[in-house]
Structure formats: C-alpha cells, structure tokens
Structure 1
Amino acid sequence: MKNKIYWIFAILTITTISIAYGFTKFIVPKEKSAAMDCTEATASKASSEFEPTIVNKNSAPAKAPKGMVWIPGGEFSMGSNVEDESLCSIKGITKDAAPIHRVYVDGYFMDETEVTNEQFAKFVNATGYVTVAEQKPTQEEFPDAPPENLIAGSVIFSPTPAAVNLNDFLQWWSYVGGTDWKHPLGPESSIKGKEKYPAVQITYEDAAAYAKWAGKRLPTEAEWEFAARGGKTGNLYAWGNTLKPNGKFQANIYQGHFPIKDGDTGEDGFKGIAPTAQFKPNAYGLYDMAGNVWEWVNDWYSPSYYSELNKDGKTAKNPQGPDSYNDPNDPTEKKRVHRGGSFLCTDQYCTRYMVGTRGKGEIRSAANHLGFRCVKSI
C-alpha cells in the first residue's frame, strides 16, 4: 500500500509534515539531556528581550458565547529569539519566528479548546460538508499521477520499529486511503467514544468552512499568540519558563525516544492524542495552547513576514499576515501558518510548543495531529 501510493502521498502531504516539524533534514539532534540542560538559560535570555505586555482594560462587551472566553487584546512583543529547535540541539531553524516585534490586537472571543469531534460532527450533519480527505483527488489536480494512485485519504504517524536517523520524516509518516476526520488513524479506526477529542485530519479549508458555519472565523497569527501568552511577557511556554513546574508536565507532548513504536512513555499522562482540557488553562482560560494538536490560523505563511512588520520599528495594529504565501523551500505550495505544536513534538526533534514559534502547512493537507480553534470578533 505504501509503495503503491507513495507518489500521491509526496504531492499531497509532504509539506504539511515537513514544516510542522521544522526543516531538520540532514541534522541529527543531540540527546534529550543535552537539550534539557540549557532550558533555563535559554528562557532567561529570551525573556530579557521582550518589552512589557500592555493589556487592554476593556471588559467583555457581552456574555461570552458558549465554549468561548474573552480575550481583551492589547500590545505585546510577538515572536521568538530562541534560535535552536530542541532548544540547544538543532541550530537556526526557528528563525522564521524572529525578530521579536511589537503588535497590537483588538479584543475578541476565542474557543476555550480546539474544535472537538462532537462539534465538527454537528457541522457535518447540519450541512452535509465533505472534508478534503474524503474527496478523491482529481486528474486535473495531479495530471501526472497514475489513476490508481488517486485515492481519498490522508497522513498518519507510523512509528518506526527501531531508532532511526531523524533526517527523513517519510520514515514515520504514511499516506493511507480511507483516512479522514471520522477515521483519523485509517479506515478501520473510529472516533466513537472520542467525542471530546480534537477533530483532526482537518485541512485549512475544512477549518474555514466550519468557522463560517459557526458564525466565527479562524484567528490571525497575532491573535493566537496574544491569547496563548495570557497577558504575560516573553515566557517560553504558555504557562511560564519551566517545562515541568513542580515536576509536572503542562501539555500533551512526546516523552521518550522519537519516533519508535511505543517510544512515547506517556509521562504527561497520555500516549498519543488526548481529550481536550486535560491540563490547566492559561491565564485567559484557554486550554491546550501548547501540544495535543497543531492549530490552523488564517495567515499565509512567509518566513520574512516578521522582518517586514518590524522594518519601521512601529507597532503593527491587527496584522493579518502577508498578502500571499511564500516558502522559498517549497515555492509552488500554498501554505498557511500552524501554531501550538502537537502530541508528537519532542525535545529531540520539535519544540514548537514554545509559545512564540511557528509551523506551516499546505492548505489542502491534513494529518492526525492537526486541528483548529475559532475566534469571534466583537
């Protein structure tokens, strides 16, 4: 199966997976202990370069819609100056989150959690919507693909039987026919009993369609980061500067040896994806702003966008992202930003659960660690 549909897998999903984890080709990260040893020093350096957050004093103009919380907005320092993926082990690949720059956002309501399977099912039942993963790719979209390779499906994390060099993510991802939001781990899987889990195998256009139906929208990247920071200034994580305050994990991320089978030790309480709201919320009452599943935001992706905003040194007001997509590493693919990291993020390979860092993905690609949440303007 894997060999039969390798070509279509590469075209449809390679950008989602490669960028969500950052470009780590041909780089072997140091062992876990090396990354963890420098966590506090990195956090101290990072926080010293942020200017104070100025939170608006305005109260919510109305009662928050069910399942949403009020985010007052204000001015803050956005981005990250942590230059190393895995903190100290892979040099220079979080540079698309620099420079730190000043941003102002107006107030808005935001979903407490990622959109759940239960919520997404209500949307599908009400509208008859068919997600991208459920649609058979067409010959018009992929004129060079053999017809037998054009099958509906999506990407699944497929652990390796033993340790591997982390220079080729195709070793632990597989495109599987019959995979979609109702069958997130392949055609034999189900979301029965997982109503409170985040909806995954969701593309950007799926998320945008849900948001429109719900009378909401996807957040801008600036809105997402302001909310994740919870009114705090320059923290490394959504909860502070220590990965495990009092020895306890604050998010569903990967512990153990990535990406081998049964490699996740589940020290945080979960092996793989978790139901929403299993950890303490941040200061604004938002759950899972780090880990569990990546979240789509509305901005087109460009690695130079922060530099463009920072050119004149002025505070950017309600930035909406660049006018078009731009990824020099993959210039033909239309990509938007992901935020927050996922249950597969590990200090061996991906620390994009750090609050100021970014991911990206092709707009019609999905995976079993990718979901979304919505906001509502006042």
Structure 2
Amino acid sequence: MSGHCCSPGRHGPGGDGAAEPVEPVAGAAPLRGPRPGAEPPAHAVRLPGGTFRMGSDEGLGHPDDQEGPVRAVTVGPFAVAATTVTTAQWAAFAEETGHVSDAQRFGWSHVLHLHLPPAVAARAPRVRSAPWWCAIQGADWRHPEGPGSDLAGREDHPAVHLSWRDAQSWCAWAGGRLPTEAEWEYAARGGLEGARYPWGDELRPDGEHRCNIWQGDFPHRDEAADGWSGTAPVTTYTANGFGLFQTVGNVWEWCADPWRGGRVIKGGSFLCHDSWCNRYRVAARSANEEDASAANAGFRCVWDLAGPDRTGSGAHRAWTATSRNE
C-alpha cells in the first residue's frame, strides 16, 4: 500500500510509475519567493498554536507510514485557509502570473480510469502497482479529465493536477506558504485531542457522511453515497471546530516537509476506501514526488502571523527532520 496507489508519482519508485507520454516541454518553473511582510487575508482562520498530540498508535495505517508513536508537538500561531485552493483561485493566479504548471510542462497527468471514456482508458498507460491511474496527455488543472473536459460548474471545486512546486508558487504569490505536517495536523484536528477524524472517532455519526471518500467496490465501482464521485465543492461538508472545511477526503493536501525523497501529503482523497487505503484519518500520511500531479491532489495555504512566536513552526521542522523524515 504505497503512496503511489493513493496519489501517483510522475516517475514512480523503481520505474513503477506510468510511462511518460512526452518529455517536459520546458525547464522547471522557478519557485517564487514570499512577498515580504504580507499579511494573511481576512478570510483566513487565525490559530493560536500550542501543544497537541500528533500521530496515532491505533495501528490502522500501513506500518511504513510511521504514524506513531503519539507524541506532544508544539506549533506557533499561524493563519490557515478555511478551504483548499479552488479552481477559480488558481485560475486568477495563473492569469496574473502566467504560471505554467508541471502537468502542463510535462504534457500529461494522472486521471482515474472511471472518469474517462472507456476507449480512452483502454489505451492509456497505467501505473503498474495501481492500474486505476491512467496517464492522460493533455490532463491538467484546466482540463481535469484531459482534452474535452473543462472547469464549467467546478469553480468552487479544489484545484487539482498541481504539483508541490506549483502549490509552493501559489502560496508565495498569496504571501503565504505550505503548512508543515504538524501545522496541518494541528489545524485538521480542529481542537479535538486524539480523535480519528476532524469530527470525532466515528466515520459516519448517526449515518451522516462527513467527508468525500469512496463507497463501493474499489476501484471498480464508486456508489457515490456521500453525494460525489470525484471532487466535491470545497465547503460541501460541515467545518471542523476551527472552521476548516474538508481536511480529510476530497483531495490530498501538500505539506512542506520532505519525506521518502518527496514531500508529505495529508488528508486522503475521494479515492480512499478502507479496503485499500484508509488514509482519510487526520494522523495518516503519505508522500509524493515534488513534480507529481493527479486528479486527487490539491493544497491549502498558511500564513505566518507577526509577533515573537512566528518562529514556532521552524522549531517543528527541526524536530521533524531528526525524528521521522530522514
């Protein structure tokens, strides 16, 4: 149960990724630096930071994911977007800056086989360890299922087919940055200490769906009992105790931390199912390559808050590097 089954890499471990249809059309886009002195937007949720219990000892994840042991971690104050970046927000950035995403540069990205016409899926290169992923030429943030698809009606859905590098550039343009894994998990928990999900320990309290994940026979049939097959609008379900929407399910979210030769991703996605990947818990984690992109990967931005405690997240980065991520 590797990270690539959940969100596939562009190259894959040991060549296990799908064959690349084309070479990149240009060099990697330069990473933009943060805007000096930028303040978080008014709609961002300001969090005080503090010490919380990070990780899980439940044994529900894959041992290689290293979710445990549960440990006390302290993060400084920061502000965080209530939602993942939407297609409309990403489009505004792309129009202003002319940013070309990694998927556009490579000329392809990964799309779920069920979201393609059968004839297209039948001839598309597949990820060998996760054959539900098809490498589709022309798939990118503007064309989520490849040529012929568009964003009509999906302006409030999460922007997808974006790499870690792309996410870094958007955050810097907005005056922010990607969260550390600890900041992400602290925010995703919404103040609930040690809970499995942002709302508690039951996946569907009183039978109510609280996130967008897979229902049915994975990967052959998605019953969409939660209302969605594929991405859902970013505010579809009830926010957590901090006012953040969909910190689990819907799309994976990039974090700043290095791990397994790539970058940490958190939260799971609409593809997650307990028969294969139950990484839609707040303690769950995976990783992917910095230039990877897929139809189930997005991000949310955080902003530093002015004041003497703004170095708190840096202290966590040092802890991360020495304890789990090397």
Q: Does 1:128 align with 2:88?
A: no
CA contact (8 A) 1:228 1:355 kept: yes
Q: 2:45 aligns with which of 46, 69, 91?
A: 69
Q: For 1:367 and 1:11, locate their aligned partners in 2 and report how far apart those are by CA, in whole Å.
A: 8
1:192 corresponding residue in structure 2:
152
Q: 2:172 aligns with which of 205, 212, 216?
A: 212
Pairing 1:1-378 to 2, within 5 Å after superposition: 12-14=10-12, 65-85=41-61, 92-93=62-63, 95-136=65-106, 152-159=107-114, 169-260=129-220, 263-301=221-259, 327=260, 334-378=261-305
Q: For 2:218 and 2:87, locate their aligned partners in 1 and report how far apart those are by CA, in whole Å.
A: 27
Larger Rg, first or second structure (1 or 2): 1
Q: For 2:288 and 2:143, locate their aligned partners in 1 and report how far apart those are by CA, in whole Å.
A: 21
Give 3-state SS (helix, strand or coil) of 2:93's partner. helix
Q: Deviations over 1:37-76 (max 9, x none)?
A: xxxxxxxxxxxxxxxxxxxxxxxxxx96233111111101
Give 3-state SS (helix, strand or coil) of 1:218's partner. coil
CA contact (8 A) 1:83 1:95 kept: no
Q: For 1:297 and 1:157, locate their aligned partners in 2 and report how far apart those are by CA, in whole Å.
A: 23
**1:11/1:270 CA distance change after superposition, 3 Å:** closer
TM-superposed CA distance for 1:108, in Å, is 0.8
CA contact (8 A) 1:82 1:94 kept: no
CA contact (8 A) 1:94 1:357 kept: no
Amino acid of the residue matched to residue 184 of structure 2?
W
Q: Deviations over 1:158-211 (max 9, x none)?
A: 1499xxxxx954321111111111011112211122110000000000000000
Q: For 1:99 and 1:291, locate their aligned partners in 2 and report how far apart those are by CA, in whole Å.
A: 23
**1:361/1:244 CA distance change after superposition, 3 Å:** same
CA contact (8 A) 1:83 1:94 kept: no
Amino acid of the residue matched to residue 336 of structure 1?
R
CA contact (8 A) 2:164 2:290 kept: yes
Segments of 5+ residues of structure 1 without an aligned counterpart are: 1-9, 20-62, 86-91, 137-151, 162-166, 302-326, 328-333
Q: For 2:275 and 2:70, locate their aligned partners in 1 and report how far apart those are by CA, in whole Å.
A: 25
Q: For 1:376 and 1:337, locate their aligned partners in 2 and report how far apart those are by CA, in whole Å.
A: 19
Amino acid of the residue matched to residue 288 of structure 1?
Q
TM-superposed CA distance for 1:102, in Å, is 1.0
TM-superposed CA distance for 1:13, in Å, is 4.4
Q: For 1:94 and 1:231, locate their aligned partners in 2 and report how far apart those are by CA, in whole Å.
A: 27
RMSD of aligned residue pairs (Cα, Å): 2.1
Give 3-state SS (helix, strand or coil) of 1:337's partner. strand
TM-score computed with the length of structure 1 as normaliser: 0.67
TM-superposed CA distance for 1:101, in Å, is 1.2
Amino acid of the residue matched to residue 10 of structure 2?
L
Give 3-state SS (helix, strand or coil) of 2:89's partner. helix
TM-score computed with the length of structure 2 as normaliser: 0.77
Q: For 2:302 and 2:210, locate their aligned partners in 1 and report how far apart those are by CA, in whole Å.
A: 23
Give 3-state SS (helix, strand or coil) of 1:171's partner. strand
Q: Deviations over 1:78-125 (max 9, x none)?
A: 01113234xxxxxx4364111111100111110000000000001000
Q: For 2:201 and 2:64, locate their aligned partners in 1 and report how far apart those are by CA, in whole Å.
A: 18
CA contact (8 A) 2:65 2:285 kept: no
Q: For 2:158 and 2:65, locate their aligned partners in 1 and report how far apart those are by CA, in whole Å.
A: 29
Amino acid of the residue matched to residue 226 of structure 1?
Y
Q: For 2:10 and 2:108, locate their aligned partners in 1 and report how far apart those are by CA, in whole Å.
A: 10
CA contact (8 A) 1:13 1:366 kept: no
CA contact (8 A) 1:239 1:282 kept: yes
Q: Deviations over 1:225-257 (max 9, x none)?
A: 000111111001111001111110110011111
**1:252/1:13 CA distance change after superposition, 3 Å:** farther
TM-superposed CA distance for 1:12, in Å, is 2.2
Q: For 1:94 and 1:290, locate their aligned partners in 2 and report how far apart those are by CA, in whole Å.
A: 20
Q: For 1:105 and 1:276, locate their aligned partners in 2 and report how far apart those are by CA, in whole Å.
A: 25
Give 3-state SS (helix, strand or coil) of 1:246's partner. helix
TM-superposed CA distance for 1:270, in Å, is 1.1
Amino acid of the residue matched to residue 188 of structure 2?
A
Q: For 1:79 and 1:11, locate their aligned partners in 2 and report how far apart those are by CA, in whole Å.
A: 24
Segments of 5+ residues of structure 2 without an aligned counterpart are: 1-7, 18-38, 119-126, 306-326
